[in-house]
Structure 1
């Protein structure tokens, strides 16, 4: 029986492309818009393969790709490393976008819209109306303003911080995820800050009115005003809130892929 060496079965050009594809496909599978539930899996794979073909020469020239391994164990180890790093990058982008959902939940509580549950097609789960609106509009603005190119560029730039073939820095990656989650909660509170201020003032006013006029049904009068005022405030603050969030989004993503 004729035997072949591994490098004969897997040409060097194909190996370089496949290693880049592992990281890109894993990242795109989790990234906002690209990895949402309504996007067909085959479409994601075709997109990842197309981008890999375009960026493989650049990555090979600027950062370098490990040579073909001499055994299958080394091959699978390199593939696992690239898939792990790509999944980490995609999850970072997804976790940061989830701060919009947390901020939307806070807004829903402050505007009495918490019971207005709607279906979020990106996550295939029910959410409050403000959270679903913010997350859906953020994805639309990401693609309308070209930030999706920044997401793809961050994957290419990640080879400077996470070289192909090197062991991933697990301690640094875990610390980065912890910092990102805390940053996400801070962004959520900052997004909902106008609603927290207005809601606090409104509830204090309701309490004062109920003390001054105990016979007045404050709840039945205040609830429609609270919902109407919340909708008006959402309409006024939605554009600046989204653009402010996307500026934070790009800043965090670009800082993650910087070496050091």
Structure 2
């Protein structure tokens, strides 16, 4: 009797850990190379243990053979990866908007290592990514990421066939909305760049002797950074609102 109870508890925690572990590897802020993999695995195991009491009733019975268990774990990992990718897509507008702003300001040649995306990015992109991740954790919006994975057990019942068609359509809609949001976040800088470059072009035609590039570049950087600083609060507010709404779309209404 005790052996059966222990086996069922280990099975439930293992199945929950498969979904949470796969999703947590892609959580914004936790997917950084500066966060040790062991820490992420330990956090996923602790989370699986804490929520196992409320989710264990939704899990299917233990499969009779090892192959069926592996297939079930693979399905859970697939669902977890889907939610991790969705969260990466939801934070993508900051990365794309940072690239647009960098081109608009004139700092496209200033590259640095971005710990959020774990790659070389423009300086402004890395700064915006760090601010966005800090805003997510400071406003406790990261709770929504965990809650979305917990509620996914009502949307994607373990043991049932995975609706790959619905997953692809949902991911496509999320990505298209994210691209639209990125254009909105970068809109002030894009308008400034269009206006400023048009003025430089007219100045170059009126005064051909002037070195427009050397005169205009410092002014472009100064004006672009000024507009970015003035719009930083609305940019982060708009991003956080869309990030939260994107996660709420995958949560069960209460």
What range describes the TM-score normalised by the shorter chain of this pair? over 0.9
Alignment counterpart, residue 40 of structure 2, candidates 44, 55, 58: 44
1:66-77 alignment, distance < 5 Å: 66-77=60-71
Give the SS at the match of 1:11: helix
> Is 2:224 the counterpart of 1:230?
yes
Q: Quote the Cα distance in structure 1 between the aligned partners of 2:185 and 2:29.
A: 21
Q: What is the CA-CA distance between 1:175 and the residue it aligns to?
A: 1.0
Alignment counterpart, residue 33 of structure 1, candidates 29, 33, 36: 29
Structure 1 stretch displaced more, 75-84 or 120-129: 120-129
TM-score normalised to structure 2 length: 0.94
* 1:164-219 CA-partner distances (Å, limit 9, x unpaired): 11111100111111112211211111111001111111111112222222222221
Q: Quote the Cα distance in structure 1 between the aligned partners of 2:41 and 2:94.
A: 27
Q: Quote the Cα distance in structure 2 between the aligned partners of 1:124 and 1:93.
A: 16
Q: What is the CA-CA distance between 1:137 and the residue it aligns to?
A: 0.9
Give the SS at the match of 1:173: helix
Match of 2:53?
Answer: 57
* 1:8-32 CA-partner distances (Å, limit 9, x unpaired): 5971111111111110011001111
Output the aligned Cα RMSD. Answer: 1.6
Alignment counterpart, residue 137 of structure 1, candidates 107, 127, 131: 131
Gaps of 5+ in 2: none
Match of 1:149?
Answer: 143
Q: What is the CA-CA distance between 1:220 and the residue it aligns to?
A: 1.3
Q: Quote the Cα distance in structure 2 between the aligned partners of 1:35 and 1:128.
A: 19
Match of 2:104?
Answer: 110
Give the SS at the match of 2:113: strand
1:180-259 alignment, distance < 5 Å: 180-258=174-252
Q: Quote the Cα distance in structure 2 between the aligned partners of 1:118 and 1:235.
A: 20
Give the SS at the match of 2:112: strand
Q: What is the CA-CA distance between 1:109 and the residue it aligns to?
A: 0.5
Give the SS at the match of 2:81: helix
Match of 2:159?
Answer: 165
Q: Quote the Cα distance in structure 2 between the aligned partners of 1:10 and 1:85.
A: 26
Q: Quote the Cα distance in structure 1 between the aligned partners of 2:205 and 2:227.
A: 27
Match of 2:93?
Answer: 99
Match of 1:19?
Answer: 15
Q: What is the CA-CA distance between 1:99 and the residue it aligns to?
A: 2.2
> Is 2:173 the counterpart of 1:179?
yes
* 1:200-258 CA-partner distances (Å, limit 9, x unpaired): 11111112222222222221111100011111111111122012101101101221345
Report if aligned partners of 2:147, 2:251 keep a CA contact under 8 Å in 1: no
Q: What is the CA-CA distance between 1:122 and the residue it aligns to?
A: 2.5
